[in-house]
Structure 1
Amino acid sequence: MTDQTIIRFEGVTKQFDHNPPILKDVSFEIEKGKFYTLLGPSGCGKTTILRLVAGFNEPSAGKIYFNNKVINNVPANKRQVNTVFQDYALFPHLNVFENIAFGLRIKKLSNSEITNKVREALRFVNLAGFENREINEMSGGQRQRVAIARAIVNEPQVLLLDEPLSALDLKLRTEMQYELRELQRRLGITFIFVTHDQEEALAMSDEIFVINNGKIEQSGTPTDIYDEPINRFVAEFIGESNIVSGTMIRDYLVEFAGKRFSCVDKGFHENEPVEIVIRPEDLEITTPVLGQLQVQVDSQLFRGVHYEICCNDQDGNEWLVHSTKKANVGDKIGLHFDPEAIHVMRLGETEEEFDNRLEAYGEEKHE
């Protein structure tokens, strides 16, 4: 724990009645002023974490700390957090001003204080002048910004966002990603954002927690998680991946698809069974003679910025390629990749073991 830690989960489990636990012995830390994303499939436990932070649920076991104080039994209205829900939960009978002012009126602030705070919140979300607009006259993006203004007007230390972009169309969703990220930078408060959209998580976050089946599979920066997935679940959930079985012959030498290749990984046992990840954009199309792998093209789709090409090698492995070069179905082509493009995953490795191995590799590289 550091001086910047604002939220800490310590062995937190959440179980309803006699059902299987939704969260299982979860521990992590959240620092002040960063944008965090809880990423995972439906039912993995990410919204449960958000509700535990907000105080809507209590943990079945473990402790939750806020500014180094246990808050397990602190009611929601006493916590310095606010939540933006998936459906925004705006009051349809109140205009924009009164929606944002609702919490301030409960606190019995003076009318002048309320007016100043509401106008400042509207300015932050680029809705200045919309005070008298009715909610049913607002677009989806505008409603979302009203919900955010209502949350930040109470000056929380942490803002919780439960899939607030899921109801928006693709173009507006992309625009709001930029707006939310910029808003977080301007406010300087901690955002905890829940989504199942991996592209959204990669675009917006300082740090990502990848959650599966009630446990944190991996945490780190978007670059770390994309480039160095800890296991098959993370590799498949974050972006698109080619994953094949292989053998780590020794440090910096791996075998897969019937051939041996130089790589940058170390710290494995000799001849240890492993899994290999190569991202589609790291595969370069070349001639069969120049390629490290020889494959046959099975299908091709044009995706606008690249072609998506599906291939098979002679061992039956499927390879997905993202390339600006076009290939023809039925052609035999070569695939070239650098040693840095090969990521080797140890079977059953924990995140702590994974981090220690990467740290040892980084120290050796620095020397």
Structure 2
Amino acid sequence: MGENTIIRFEHVTKQYDDDSPVLQDVSFEIEKGKFYTLLGPSGCGKTTVLKLIAGFIEPTKGNIYFNGKVINNLPANKRQVNTVFQDYALFPHLNVFENIAFGLRIKKIKNDEITRKVKEALKFVNLEGYENREIKEMSGGQRQRVAIARAIVNEPEVILLDEPLSALDLKLRTEMQYELRELQRNLGITFIFVTHDQEEALAMSDEIFVLNGGKIEQSGTPTDIYDEPINRFVADFIGESNIVSGTMLEDYVVKFTGKTFDCVDAGFNKSEDVEVVIRPEDLEITLPEKGKLQVKVDSQLFRGVHYEISCYDSEGNEWLVHSTKKAIVGEEIGLFFEPEAIHVMRHGETEEEFDKRLEAYEEVNG
């Protein structure tokens, strides 16, 4: 465990009665002062991870460490963790000041100190002067800031956020993404954020854990996750992707759609069946004879900053293109892409298997 590690899961499983495990043999580390996102579809286990860290539930197997000490049985109120819930869980009968001060009053802190801490927290979330405002008079974004202020006023080492932006409209949601990220940087506190929104995760995180079926499919920086997905699930879940079947002929050479292309991937078996990913924004529309692929335009939608164009090649593969150039439905066009735009994946490979394969390849090839 590294010096900066604050939370560590060691082969953690969570199972209720005789049901299938909601979390299966999960191991990971969280470092101090970073913004982490647990990302995945409904039922993947991300909220279960949050509840285990918060102390609302205990693991069935494995250990959870906080600053190097096992906390499996440590009560929630004894942990240096605060949670911001999806519905904010604010008290409607208390004003802003008293909502934020609630935890401090339970700890029997002196009134002068409570006043100082609450005002400091309000300043952090840009709500100075709102102390006497009733909760019912606050907007959705303001309520969220009150909930965050209530969390930070207790000076936790970790703040857990359970889909706190899901109830906001798109414009406010985008604004709050920037505000949350800036707040985390200013505080220097570890944030662990739960969402099923891929764009939200990519925009806000230092690191992302992609969960599926109670397991972590892949972890890494937003750039790693987006540019180098481990398998079809991650490639399909994070952003939009064109995924086709192919054959890895040898290192740096892959075949798909009946053609052979140079690529930047290596470490596969010769003539191994693989899956090939090309992101829509990496496809450039050109004349048919200049394209590496020739396709027919099937449909086109204007998305504001680009056109979303759906095309089909002669083998029936669909290709999604994001381009500032307008196409004509029914016309044949060429698609050009660089070798770096091609990402090759092994069928069903896990992150652990991927790491081992690369290590073995580097040992042999230096």
Which bin holds the TM-score, normalised by the shorter protein? Answer: over 0.9
1:210 counterpart residue number: 210
CA deviation profile, 1:36-67 (whole Å, cap 9, x unmatched): 00000011100000000000000011000000
- Does structure 1 conserve the Cα–Cα contact (< 8 Å) formed by 2:264 and 2:340? yes
- Does structure 1 conserve the Cα–Cα contact (< 8 Å) formed by 2:231 and 2:350? no
1:183 counterpart residue number: 183
1:123 counterpart residue number: 123
Distance 1:32 1:333 in 2: 50
Which residue type is aligned with residue 305 of structure 2?
Answer: V
**Could you tell me how far 1:353 is from its partner in structure 2?**
3.0
Q: Does 1:39 align with 2:68?
A: no
Unaligned runs of 5+ in 1: none
**Could you tell me how far 1:362 is from its partner in structure 2?**
8.7
Which residue type is aligned with residue 231 of structure 2?
Answer: N
Q: Does 1:152 align with 2:152?
A: yes
* Matched residue SS, 1:289: helix
Distance 2:265 2:353 in 1: 14
Distance 2:259 2:117 in 1: 65
Distance 2:303 2:358 in 1: 34
* Matched residue SS, 1:120: helix
Normalized against structure 1, the TM-score is what?
A: 0.98
Which residue type is aligned with residue 209 of structure 2?
Answer: F
* Matched residue SS, 1:216: strand
* Matched residue SS, 2:289: coil
CA deviation profile, 1:65-112 (whole Å, cap 9, x unmatched): 000000000000000000000000000000000000000000000000
2:317 counterpart residue number: 317
After superposition, the Cα gap between the structure-2 partners of 1:238 and 1:79, relative to the gap in structure 1 and judged at 3 Å, is same
1:57 counterpart residue number: 57
Which residue type is aligned with residue 236 of structure 1?
Answer: D
2:12 counterpart residue number: 12
Distance 2:363 2:146 in 1: 48
**Could you tell me how far 1:17 is from its partner in structure 2?**
1.2
After superposition, the Cα gap between the structure-2 partners of 1:303 and 1:360, relative to the gap in structure 1 and judged at 3 Å, is farther
**Could you tell me how far 1:296 is from its partner in structure 2?**
0.2
Distance 1:357 1:114 in 2: 55
2:295 counterpart residue number: 295
Q: Does 1:231 align with 2:244?
A: no
1:173 counterpart residue number: 173
After superposition, the Cα gap between the structure-2 partners of 1:92 and 1:151, relative to the gap in structure 1 and judged at 3 Å, is same
Normalized against structure 2, the TM-score is what?
A: 0.98
Which residue type is aligned with residue 63 of structure 2?
Answer: K
Distance 1:161 1:361 in 2: 40
Which residue type is aligned with residue 293 of structure 1?
Answer: L
Matches within 5 A, 1:1-367: 1-357=1-357
Distance 1:4 1:189 in 2: 12
Which residue type is aligned with residue 254 of structure 1?
Answer: V
Distance 2:29 2:355 in 1: 16
- Does structure 1 conserve the Cα–Cα contact (< 8 Å) formed by 2:97 and 2:118? yes
Distance 1:167 1:254 in 2: 45
Distance 1:361 1:87 in 2: 49
CA deviation profile, 1:192-244 (whole Å, cap 9, x unmatched): 00000000000000000000000000000000000000000000100000000
Distance 2:177 2:63 in 1: 32
Which residue type is aligned with residue 217 of structure 1?
Answer: E
**Could you tell me how far 1:358 is from its partner in structure 2?**
5.2
Which residue type is aligned with residue 10 of structure 2?
Answer: E
Q: Percent identity?
A: 82
Distance 1:171 1:364 in 2: 51
Which residue type is aligned with residue 72 of structure 1?
Answer: N
Distance 1:184 1:274 in 2: 40
* Matched residue SS, 2:18: coil
Distance 2:124 2:355 in 1: 39
* Matched residue SS, 1:209: strand
**Could you tell me how far 1:18 is from its partner in structure 2?**
1.2
Distance 1:174 1:358 in 2: 37
- Does structure 1 conserve the Cα–Cα contact (< 8 Å) formed by 2:232 and 2:348? no
Superposition RMSD on alpha carbons, in Å? 1.4
**Could you tell me how far 1:349 is from its partner in structure 2?**
1.9
